[in-house]
């Protein structure tokens, strides 16, 4: 199954396959498992249900690698709309948003970084007005420096903006040290892209070891670690490291993806931990779905059945 990971990640960037797969309705079993809907109304409903169950949420309006200025602006408008709706429903104490910079202009050929920064500022402003925060997702390694530079700029005006670091990159332990300062919200994940061996660990065990080293840095530091993993061993290690570092629940949080290990999400929340679920929504679910399949190729037959039956 591990052999399927790389081809699936390569397919996640294939336009012809995307065109074929995207003809599946969002209601198709495999898509609905990971994406609750396409609209603001659908994601706000899904958020309200999680929050009623004691789980916080971070919402991701799906889309990435945008090379169209209007589409980048439409993405900003979608975030502003969902933040307004969350605020109207009184949900912003428990709900924030996650943003991919490549969806708001970072990949544009001229001034991409500047456009992404301005667009991110607009979303941060809307989030602050709504009483909540933004976390910048991390994409493939070619964007890491640019994303961290934009984060530094954003944090001058919006210090509450969250960062994401990926344990599979060799550089990440150092990045954790640089970001483990007071008030700094940092999500640590394993990393979801197809990365070459000169920048990333290839072996799962090496990635896990790196994750633990990074966890130690973040939990010993002054920031607010957001521990994003479904891996039962890493959840256990994180819990014991948190108590070893004298961290009370609430001075860090666990994060998982919508539809993955929901029972574990509830178990942790009932045990008094802060748990946040990442909820993607919108029509551009193809790249996200392919990364989830690459992590869990066992779901491939379910995926193919959904594709053939379109249900
Ligand atoms: C809140 C959150 C935000 C994230 N943000 C980013 C980001 O900005 N950038 C980035 O590169 N990556 C991001 N990721 C993805 C992350 O990098 C991993 O690819 C993903 O979380 C799988 O790694 P894992 O730690 O769960 O461990 P794994 O070893 O992949 O999985 C551990 C266990 O979790 C379960 N599991 C994992 N994946 C699935 C699945 N698809 N379906 C069913 N069960 C599954 C299985 O039981 C598996 O044995 C994010 C993940 C989370 C939880």
**Helices of type H across the chain:** 5-11, 15-21, 29-34, 40-52, 69-88, 112-130, 144-157, 172-179, 204-220, 232-244, 262-270, 286-295, 300-309
User: pTM, whole model, 2 decimals?
Assistant: 0.94
Q: Which residues line ligand 1 (CB under 6 A)?
A: 137-138, 164, 166, 187, 189-193, 228-231, 255-257, 260-261, 278, 292, 295-296
Q: What is the whole-number distance in angstroms between the Cα of residue 295 and the centre of ligand 1?
A: 7
CB neighbourhood size of 297 (10 A): 16
Backbone angles phi, psi at 188, to 5 degrees: -105, 125
Per-residue pLDDT for 291 more than 70?
yes
Range in 126-130, 185-189, 192-196 with the lowest mean pLDDT: 192-196
Residue range 212-256, pLDDT digits in tens: 999 999 999 999 999 999 999 999 999 999 999 999 999 999 999
Cα 262 to averaged position of ligand 1 atoms, centre (Å): 13
Give catalytic residues, as residue numbers: 137, 187
Residue 23 has pLDDT above 80, yes or no: no
Question: Residue 232's pLDDT is what?
Answer: 97
Determine which residue's CA is closest to atom 35 belonging to ligand 1: 230
Residue from 12, 144, 147, 230 whose mutation best tests the ligand 1 pocket (most atoms within 8 A of CB): 230
Q: Which residue owns the Cα nearest ligand 1 atom 5?
A: 137
């Amino acid at each position: 199954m591990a052999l399927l990971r790389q081809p699936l990640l390569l397919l996640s960037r294939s336009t012809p396959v995307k065109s074929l797969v995207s003809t599946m309705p969002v209601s198709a079993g495999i898509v609905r498992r990971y994406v609750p809907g396409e609209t603001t109304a659908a994601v706000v409903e899904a958020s309200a249900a999680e929050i009623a169950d004691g789980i916080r949420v971070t919402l991701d309006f799906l889309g990435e690698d945008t090379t169209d200025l209007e589409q980048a602006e439409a993405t900003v408008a979608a975030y502003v709309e969902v933040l307004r709706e969350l605020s109207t429903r009184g949900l912003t104490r428990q709900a924030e948003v996650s943003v991919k910079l490549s969806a708001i202009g970072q990949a544009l050929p001229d001034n991409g970084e500047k456009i992404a920064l301005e667009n991110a500022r607009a979303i941060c402003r809307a989030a602050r007005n709504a009483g909540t925060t933004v976390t910048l997702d991390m994409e493939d390694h070619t964007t890491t420096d640019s994303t961290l530079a934009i984060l530094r700029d954003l944090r001058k005006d919006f210090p509450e903006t969250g960062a994401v670091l990926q344990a599979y990159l060799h550089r990440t332990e150092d990045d954790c040290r640089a970001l483990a300062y007071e008030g700094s919200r940092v999500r640590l994940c394993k990393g979801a892209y197809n990365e070459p061996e000169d920048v990333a660990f290839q072996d799962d065990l090496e990635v896990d070891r790196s994750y633990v080293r990074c966890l130690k840095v973040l939990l010993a530091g002054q920031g607010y670690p957001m521990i994003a993993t479904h891996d039962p061993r890493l959840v256990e290690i994180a819990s014991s490291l948190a108590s070893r570092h004298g961290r009370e629940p609430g001075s860090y949080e666990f994060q998982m993806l919508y539809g993955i290990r929901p029972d574990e999400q509830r178990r942790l929340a009932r045990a008094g931990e802060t748990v946040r679920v990442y909820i993607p929504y919108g029509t551009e679910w193809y790249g996200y779905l392919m990364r989830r399949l690459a992590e869990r190729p066992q779901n491939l037959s379910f995926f193919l059945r959904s594709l053939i039956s379109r249900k």
